[in-house]
């Protein structure tokens, strides 16, 4: 499998666009898959620079209902006329974040997307084919990201804490590889991996994606404790990790100190072979 980061917060060099968002172009022996589309059309510009043809994508997956993972969809639909897009139905709920001044900012997908006939709207796990699964049945609440506390969903004119039922992950099976792709891991990367093990009877051989460990309060004792315990948990899984986006550079460096050579950073313009 080859995975190319089309958009991410950082880049391999100044040739590539960056933004707060994520988009991965995945090539397996049988399928071409687009995982997330970033917050704009810039992922498609990077795709051109990297020689990745979006018209050849067989299916797409949107990890959850936040703008930085799905607002590039309009550009994808312009360039690809065949691929269905797998998404949790609740991803079209109205999602908000709390700004520093306490006001709410719309954080969700463009409302006009919800009526597009190219979506396959799911409620839970789903098998795309014998090689690819949508995995969303995550339980547990260990080591949850602190930044989740500022995320809400608007229902019946009331702001409710987001429970991230709209979040899903992609599982790919090829030969002796069992790969997990995450968008932001809002449900906690440790919880996701433990639930993965319950379903597949093993941890993934590889994990690629964001862990949502970024925070503005890096000196907070709770944050430091979560980061330390997360690093210890991941180290014990004997999995190779490629993280990016919402993990945050400072969190990455802390995890790297715990996990060592099993942890790598993936930025826009980079390709990895699994």
Q: What are phi and psi of 4, to 5 degrees?
A: -115, 130
User: SS3 of 108, please?
Assistant: strand
| Residue owning tokens 């079209």 | 92
List, in order, residues 6 or more apart from 67 with CB less than 8 Å away. Answer: 39, 106, 107, 108, 109, 110
**pLDDT tens track, the chain, 274 positions:** 999 999 999 998 999 999 999 999 999 999 999 999 999 999 999 999 999 999 999 999 999 999 999 999 999 999 999 999 999 999 999 999 998 888 999 999 999 999 999 999 999 999 999 999 999 999 999 999 999 999 999 999 999 999 999 999 999 999 999 999 999 999 999 999 999 999 999 999 999 999 999 877 656 888 899 999 999 999 999 999 999 999 998 899 999 999 999 999 999 999 999 9
Topology of domain 2-273 in CATH is Metallo-beta-lactamase; Chain A (3.60.15)
The pTM of the full predicted model, rounded to 2 decimals, is: 0.97
Is residue 1 within 8 A of residue 266, CB to CB? The reply is no
- Using a 10 angstrom Cβ sphere, with 0-12 exposed, 13-18 middle and 19 or more buried, the burial of residue 153 is buried
């Amino acid at each position: 499998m080859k995975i190319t980061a089309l958009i991410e917060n950082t880049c391999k060099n100044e040739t590539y666009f960056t933004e707060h968002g994520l988009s991965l172009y995945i090539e397996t022996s049988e399928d071409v898959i687009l995982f997330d589309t970033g917050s704009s059309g810039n992922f498609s510009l990077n795709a051109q620079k990297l020689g990745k043809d979006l018209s050849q994508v067989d299916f797409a997956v949107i990890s959850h209902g936040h703008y930085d993972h799905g607002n590039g969809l309009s550009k994808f639909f312009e360039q690809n006329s065949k691929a269905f897009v797998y998404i949790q139905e609740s991803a079209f709920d109205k999602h908000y974040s709390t700004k520093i001044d306490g006001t709410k900012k719309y954080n969700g997908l463009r409302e006009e997307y919800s009526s597009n006939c190219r979506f396959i709207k799911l409620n839970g796990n789903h098998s795309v084919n014998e090689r690819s699964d949508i995995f969303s049945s995550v339980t547990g609440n260990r080591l949850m990201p602190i930044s989740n506390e500022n995320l809400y969903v608007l229902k019946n004119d009331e702001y409710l804490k987001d429970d991230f039922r709209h979040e899903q992950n992609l599982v790919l099976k090829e030969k002796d590889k069992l790969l997990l792709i995450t968008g932001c891991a809002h449900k906690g990367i440790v919880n996701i991996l433990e639930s993965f093990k319950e379903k597949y009877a093993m941890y993934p051989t590889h994990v690629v994606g964001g862990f949502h460990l970024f925070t503005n309060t890096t000196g907070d004792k709770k944050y430091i404790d979560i980061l330390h315990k997360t690093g210890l948990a991941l180290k014990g899984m004997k999995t190779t990790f490629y993280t990016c986006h919402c993990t945050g550079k400072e969190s990455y460096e802390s995890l790297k100190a715990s996990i060592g050579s099993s942890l790598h950073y993936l930025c826009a313009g980079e390709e990895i072979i699994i």
